[in-house]
Structure 1
């Protein structure tokens, strides 16, 4: 019983069986070591919790880029619009994204701010980087705070990644007879961003914002040449602008 093991371990010259036994032991040890190391690394990765800043960065990535409500406007033109007028923006805002305070039950805090010099940000996305306002200029152009939405990670199995809304009561707003406004936002796994802004008067009546549901902004397709000259992408005529007053939000702040 012990002699075979001793011969293999001793490596008797010319003993082919002994050499193979040694190689098998070594390979087995290496394989076990790899399995153990791999298991430890996997366990560490699984145990690594998502940090508060991981959530914030995920929201920043989801909100970046061009997104359009073109498809929704085609399906329901009476309630939704897709206006592309870079030289005369419909609405311009700064968004500040950061983790929620530790004492709050949310993951990401998304705040919107008015722009001090809106003329400098016209057609921003289509301009070369060296012709856009620089970081120090952007900081100087952050004006008054408008709204804050608290976002939480969606449960597993849901279409969304994050969703949230403004606090109860919303935020002050004086456009078109409103006294306050609310916002609901959801970020979806396919890159869509759904936004529902509404304005209310003192009696709780909705005075602006669509009543049919949130706007559904989808990422710009890789090639949108066919849609470039769609009427939905040009400045709205006067009749459409009047419709907009009861369909979406414009803040005069």
Structure 2
């Protein structure tokens, strides 16, 4: 009996240590991702292929886990973002997963990155997981992560698309994100063609 209790205690301590380590790793990734980013430099260097895009990622719900409120907009239309999402970061089997959620009544939340505590009033039922659109990241170096969505797993109906893909690289001060939409024949119908958008942290 004593041996059983000792093993039970040892297992509990091991799980607690693993949980703390996972939380610490997610803290580091969230810290790396959060902030205000811009693709202005890239758009100036290649205006034919890239727009000046603003990307904001703000931590919310600190007591619920690792969540980021995300707004992405043309720099000249910051009040009308074309992408409003919530990302949830989790760790599983040595991989980091960025789950993607849509918001009900998303227009009500535009600009709330200035007051992230406002999200405390949002019920969990007001967000919906975009199944198959999660980005699975691998840590490839110190403060460096890269990964993508699964091929064909993220449904999209934008501009005649059947599915969308995202390829992401995260490094200190920069995020490279390549989002593309493809029709059912695999032909690209939207998104950058030459490579990902380079977002520099401001």
TM-score class, shorter: 0.7 to 0.9
Q: Is 1:92–1:114's contact at 8 Å kept on the other side of the alignment?
A: yes
2:170 maps to which of 187, 190, 206: 187
Q: Is 2:137–2:145's contact at 8 Å kept on the other side of the alignment?
A: yes
User: Residue 128 and residue 52 in structure 1: after superposition, are their counterparts in 2 closer, same or farther (change >3 A)?
Assistant: closer
User: Counterpart in 2 of 1:86?
Assistant: 78
Please give the per-residue CA displacement for 1:153-177, whole angstroms capped at 9, x wherever unaligned. 1146xxx600001123231111111
Q: 1:95: Cα distance to partner?
A: 0.6
CA RMSD, aligned part only? 2.3
Please give the per-residue CA displacement for 1:76-134, whole angstroms capped at 9, x wherever unaligned. 1111111222321121111111112x3xxx42000111111111222223x345xx633
Which has the greater radius of gyration? 1
User: Counterpart in 2 of 1:214?
Assistant: 196
1:56 maps to which of 3, 6, 26: 26
Please give the per-residue CA displacement for 1:165-190, whole angstroms capped at 9, x wherever unaligned. 1123231111111111111111013x
User: Residue 118 and residue 176 in structure 1: after superposition, are their counterparts in 2 closer, same or farther (change >3 A)?
Assistant: same
Q: 1:53: Cα distance to partner?
A: 2.8
Q: Is 1:201–1:207's contact at 8 Å kept on the other side of the alignment?
A: yes
- Is 1:111 the counterpart of 2:99? The answer is yes
Map 1:1-253 to 2 at 5 A.
51-82=21-52, 83-84=74-75, 85-100=77-92, 102=93, 106-125=94-113, 127-128=114-115, 133-137=118-122, 139-145=124-130, 147-155=133-141, 161-189=144-172, 191-220=173-202
Q: Which runs of 5+ in 1 are unaligned?
A: 1-47, 221-253
Structure with a larger share of its residues in helix = 1
> Alignment partner of 1:72: what SS?
helix
TM-score by length of 2: 0.72
Aligned residues: 162
Task: Measure the CA separation in 2 of the matches of 1:81 and 1:58.
Answer: 29
Task: Measure the CA separation in 1 of the matches of 2:98 and 2:115.
Answer: 27
TM-score by length of 1: 0.58
User: Residue 142 and residue 86 in structure 1: after superposition, are their counterparts in 2 closer, same or farther (change >3 A)?
Assistant: same
> Alignment partner of 1:77: what SS?
coil
Structure with a larger share of its residues in strand = 2
Q: Is 1:55–1:107's contact at 8 Å kept on the other side of the alignment?
A: no
Q: 1:138: Cα distance to partner?
A: 5.8
Q: Is 1:199–1:208's contact at 8 Å kept on the other side of the alignment?
A: yes
